Chains A and B, each alone.
Chain A
Amino acid sequence: MGREPDGSGRIEVSGLAKRFGTVEAVRGLSFTVEPGAVTGFLGPNGSGKTTTLRAILGLVAPTAGSTLVEGAPYPELTAPGRVVGAVLEAQGAHPARTARRHLQVCASAIGVAEERVDEVLALVGLADAADRAAGGYSLGMAQRLALAVALLGDPRILVLDEPGNGLDPQGIAWLREFLRGFARSGRTVLVSSHQLAEIAQTADRLVVISAGACVYQGAADGLHGRPAVRVRCSDPVRLAEALAARGVLEIDHVADGGLAVAADAVLVGDTALAAGVAVYGLVEERADLEAMFLRLTGGGVA
């Protein structure tokens, strides 16, 4: 017990699995979160994001696999409040307590000076509402209070679960800037969302999961950048085989009998000609992130 954090700001999830009764919430999930970037953790509702984040924070015990924060399981970190700040769903304050008192309680538990309370209140824009009972807060204010708690210990890592929930557009824009700045200072941000649009403008890296398993991990640009070509042709099966022979394996049959191919249009046209397949239509589309996300997470057909 009591392992010193290694100061790396790194989160490592390896082979994580979690079963709740008969439900497999997470199945063999592995990814690494590095400092200096905002990592978006993306997946549809019920895909296991919250379970994964709670496993990282030691609130949920994995069925298999492990999660490490700065080289140690979260519950074994000494002074965890100074390493990680977390904004989770279902994380509240006692309704009868004022925001200031809530923060004083948390500051005492972390072991930071009480001056820090006023600093974080100002930082999240709650200074004027600090002496109101938290029970009267709007969802957005409660979310800001949770962020204030997360920032109390001046952590190297921020973990946020759907932080945009309840925030108004200004709040979301503010949070986006804040997270970017936090990451620019060399620290780590892991932020989950089920809305791609919300995260696309913020995240440098993406981890996309679907049904508890990782379907994409890498630069956010990488997901943007994949070309896609829609082909209507005389023999989709033969074209698919010919493309596969040339090493193009990401091919989907689409509803109108055509193909969606993750390859360059020239390559697809040349391959069709060589294979003797008549092409009736060839549309090059830069698959937008949303469509790619839906395809990756099985939420729709490209």
Chain B
Amino acid sequence: MTTDLLPTAGVLRAEALKALSVRTWWALAIPVALLAVMVNLFGGLFSSAVAGVGDGLPGILLASLAYALSLTTVFAALHGVVLATSEFRHRTVSTTYLLAGRVPTLLAKSAVAAGAGAAYALLAIVLGLLAGLLGQGAAPLPSVGGILALSGIGILVSALWAVLGVALGTLVVNQAGAVVALLVYVLAVENLVSLILRSGTQEGSAPTAVARLTSFLPANAGDVALYDLPAQELGGRFASSIVEGLAGVAGPPPAWGALLVLVVWAGAGVAVAWVVGGRRDVT
């Protein structure tokens, strides 16, 4: 990669200014904050989702934090989609490409979106912790190390999904289309595909190779990364099956493996956006 493809500090600053000078970033922060508070205030929501796991375990707050992060990550992706498609919607893309170049623009937007995604995750963790301490006062506190580790994972997952959002937006161009495509995929398509992939596995037997593919889908990979740590705190040697139940996967890899999968997805998304967006006629 030559230096010309990397955005200059000025181009990065320009993209950050763009993101901050419209309402999108804080409009999307509202549902992130609300979800983080609600999910963690009533940790029971989460424990009821995990059959056979009661309150009073040290992992429960960690688990409800992970659940909140799993829900709020989509807003980071939405922000990325809006950052990318707004250029086309408001017809600023010609100016942007003329002044900054196509590839530097894509990379700068990815960086800014990743920053915003990380900020969303941080917001969810801070508010989630506060709400959790209030609402789940009786539950033992998770260790500081556990909270920090989950925070790191949550920030990475959210940032990577934001980058995927930029890639998707650059590819689809149409803002409404890209938003709908993202939501339909995350809320329906991936679950459906996971269901089909898992269908060949008998109850109680080892998952088939096809079923194991479920962990390699991007939303599932994010969930696996998030649930790995809380599941170990909660379930010990049953951790793997807890993650399977929560993320809807079979034979999940450890958190670092799932993060790597997500890194590859984000990288692949940017690469496709690079090639397709780099050639597209802007008329």
A residues with a Cβ closer than 8 A to B are: 1-2, 20, 50-51, 54, 57-61, 75, 78, 80-81, 84, 86, 88, 90-97, 101, 104-106, 108-111, 146, 149, 153
List of B residues within 8 angstroms of A86 by Cβ: 94, 98
CA distance A153 to B8 in the complex (A): 16
Contact of A110 among B10, B17, B94 (CB under 8 A): B10
**B→A interface (CB under 8 Å):** 2-5, 8, 10-11, 13-14, 17-18, 21-23, 86, 90-92, 94-102, 279, 281-283
**Chain A's nearest CB lies how many Å from the CB of B246?**
39
* A105-B17 contact given A54-B283, A97-B22, A111-B10, CB 8 Å threshold: yes
- Give min CB distance, A276 to chain B, whole Å: 57
Write out the residue numbers on chain B whose beta carbons fall within 8 Å of the beta carbon of A90. Answer: 91, 94, 283
Measured CB to CB, the closest approach of chain A to B6, in angstroms, equals 11
The smallest beta-carbon distance between B24 and chain A, in angstroms, is 9
* Chain B residues within 8 Å of A149, by CB: 95
Closest to B1 in A: A1
What are 27 of the A-B contact pairs (CB < 8 Å)? A1-B4, A1-B5, A2-B2, A2-B3, A2-B4, A54-B282, A54-B283, A57-B94, A61-B281, A78-B4, A86-B94, A86-B98, A90-B91, A92-B90, A94-B18, A94-B86, A96-B21, A96-B23, A97-B18, A101-B17, A106-B95, A106-B99, A108-B13, A108-B14, A108-B17, A110-B10, A153-B99
The smallest C-beta distance from B250 to any residue of chain A, in angstroms, reads 45
Contact of A96 among B8, B22, B100, B102 (CB under 8 A): B22
Which residues of A have CB within 8 Å of B101?
75, 80
Query: Does A60 contact B282, Cβ atoms closer than 8 Å?
Result: yes
- Tell me if A109 and B3 are in contact (CB < 8 A): no
* Complex alpha-carbon distance, A95 and B11, angstroms: 21
Evaluate whether A75 and B10 lie within 8 angstroms (CB atoms) in the complex, with A91-B95, A96-B22, A97-B21 already known: no
Q: Which residue of chain B lies nearest to A97 when distances are taken between CB atoms in the complex?
A: B21
Interchain CA distance A111-B265 in the complex, whole Å: 33
A-B contact count (CB 8 A): 93
Once the chains bind, are A59 and B90 in contact (CB under 8 Å)?
no
Q: Which residue of chain B is the closest to A98 with respect to CB atoms? A: B21
Q: Contacts of B86 on A, CB cut-off 8 Å?
A: 94
Q: Once bound together, how far apart are the Cα atoms of A187 and B67, in whole Å?
A: 61
Neighbouring A residues of B279 by C-beta, 8 Å:
61
Inter-subunit contact A57/B92 (CB<8 Å): no
- A75-B101, A101-B21, A108-B14 in contact; A94/B96 too (CB < 8 A)? no
B167 → chain A closest CB, angstroms: 20
- CB < 8 Å: which of A57, A91, A106 contacts B14? A106
- Please determine whether A109 and B96 come into contact, CB atoms closer than 8 angstroms: yes
Residue of A with least CB distance to B279: A61
CA of A96 to CA of B92 in the docked complex: distance in angstroms? Answer: 13
CA distance A269 to B39 in the complex (A): 97
* Listed residue (A80, A101, A104, A108) with the most chain B CB atoms within 10 angstroms of its CB: A108
- Shortest Cβ distance from B72 into chain A, in angstroms? 24
Residues of B within 8 A of A50 (CB): 283
Q: Check A108/B11 contact, CB under 8 A, given A91-B91, A101-B21.
A: yes
List, in ascending order, chain B residues with CB within 8 A of A54's CB.
94, 281-283
Point out the residues of chain B lying under 8 angstroms from A57, CB to CB: 94, 98
In Å, the complex CA distance between A19 and B275 comes to 20
Contact of B11 among A2, A61, A104, A109 (CB under 8 A): A109
Task: Check A80 against B94 for contact (C-beta < 8 Å).
Answer: no
Knowing A75-B101, A96-B22 are in contact, say whether A59-B92 is a contact too (CB < 8 A): no
**Are the C-beta atoms of B21 and A1 separated by less than 8 Å?**
no
Q: B99, A109: Cβ atoms under 8 Å?
A: yes
Q: How far is the CA of A59 from the CA of B4 in the complex (A)?
A: 17
Give the residue name and chain of the B residue nearest to A88 (CB).
Answer: B94
Task: Give the chain A neighbours of B8 by CB distance below 8 A.
Answer: 111
On whether the beta carbons of A104 and B282 are closer than 8 Å, the reply is: no
Residues of A close to B3: CB separation below 8 A:
2
For B87, the closest partner residue in chain A by CB is: A94
Q: Judging by beta carbons under 8 Å apart, are B92 and A92 in contact?
A: yes
B90 A94 Cβ-Cβ under 8 A:
yes
Q: How far is the CB of B48 from chain A (nearest CB, A)?
A: 42
Whether A59 pairs with B281 at a CB distance below 8 angstroms is: yes
Of the candidates B13, B18, B22, B97, the one whose C-beta lies within 8 Å of that of A59 is B97
Choice from B4, B94, B100 contacting A109 with Cβ under 8 Å: B100
Chain B residues whose C-beta falls within 8 Å of the C-beta of A94 in the assembled complex:
18, 21-22, 86, 90, 92
Q: Please, which residue of chain B has its CB at the minimum distance from the CB of A76? A: B4
CA A81 to CA B10, docked complex, whole Å: 12
